[in-house]
């Protein structure tokens, strides 16, 4: 609003104000059109559709394929998890720690010590597998025989002077790993003093390969060990 005592001057000032408004509007429109043209030019400059030769000059980036070592580590990790998770019962019996998952250190041990072969022909080295926490608990002598119909006869001896790591009350489990089915089976426990056990695994198929273990744990559950008995085929 313009306040003045001269009406002619007021009219002239009003016209000038309107001209300035129109000039500012025209300048704004020009800037917007120029910016629009600039954006369109930038788009056309990098458009693959309008300039297909750019696609040849700049091929899409593809992820680098994994190395043989990486593939081998992935394969080992998967095999270790699949192998140990099935015998988690025995790992938890042997490694009691409410603050830690006992499976993790056992997976690390398996990865470091219990594989053989080169990728992709990697296998678990069954004699090196460790489930227990004290090698002193293992057997001074233990043997097995393969009988018909997927049955094992396992027998061991008690030492003449059993010590603190070899008691008659120790519990013995027979654990078998079906290599072809990638599946664990195990028996009920029997006390060490009985010195023998007859175990049948009807779930296995005749001809399947196996790895056989004896797992021993004391009555208090503090000390445990496993002994590798051997490999063979079910009859």
* Beta strand residue intervals within 99-170, DSSP E: 115-116, 123-124, 142-147, 151-156
Tens digits of residue pLDDT in 180-200: 999 999 999 999 999 999 999
pTM above 0.85, yes or no: no
| Residue from 132, 127, 125, 133 nearest 79 by CA | 125
| CATH of 68-233 given 3.30.360.10, 2.60.40.10, 3.40.50.10190, 3.10.560.10 | 2.60.40.10
88 three-state secondary structure: helix
Confidence band of 41 (pLDDT split at 50, 70, 90):
very low
Sorted by where each begins, the domain ranges of the chain are: 7-57, 68-233
Report CA torsion sign: 93, 173, 138, 232. negative
Residue 114 near residue 124 (C-beta atoms within 8 A):
yes
Partner residues linked to 153 by β-bridges: 145, 198
Tens digits of residue pLDDT in 104-155: 999 999 999 999 999 999 999 999 999 998 877 888 889 999 998 899 999 9
| % residues pLDDT > 90 (the chain) | 54
């Amino acid at each position: 609003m313009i306040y003045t005592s001269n009406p002619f001057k007021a009219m002239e000032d009003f016209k000038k104000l309107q001209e300035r408004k129109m000039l500012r509007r025209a300048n704004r429109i020009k800037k917007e059109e120029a910016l629009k043209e600039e954006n369109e030019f930038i788009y056309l400059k990098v458009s693959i559709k309008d300039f297909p030769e750019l696609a040849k000059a700049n091929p899409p980036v593809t992820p680098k394929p994994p190395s043989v070592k990486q593939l081998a580590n992935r394969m080992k990790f998967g095999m270790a998890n699949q192998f140990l998770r099935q015998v988690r019962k025995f790992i938890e019996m042997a490694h009691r720690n409410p603050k830690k998952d006992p499976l993790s250190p056992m997976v690390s041990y398996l990865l470091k010590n219990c594989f053989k072969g080169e990728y992709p022909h990697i296998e678990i080295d069954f004699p090196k597998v460790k489930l227990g926490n004290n090698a002193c608990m293992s057997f001074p002598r233990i043997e097995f025989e393969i009988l018909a119909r997927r049955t094992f006869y396992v027998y061991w001896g008690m030492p003449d002077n059993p010590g603190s790591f070899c008691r008659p009350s120790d519990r013995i489990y027979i654990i078998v790993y079906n290599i072809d089915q990638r599946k664990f089976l195990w028996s009920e426990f029997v006390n060490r003093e009985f010195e023998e056990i007859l175990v049948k695994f009807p779930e296995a198929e005749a001809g399947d390969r196996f790895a056989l273990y004896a797992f021993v744990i004391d009555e208090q559950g503090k000390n445990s060990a496993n002994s590798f008995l051997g490999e063979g085929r079910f009859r």
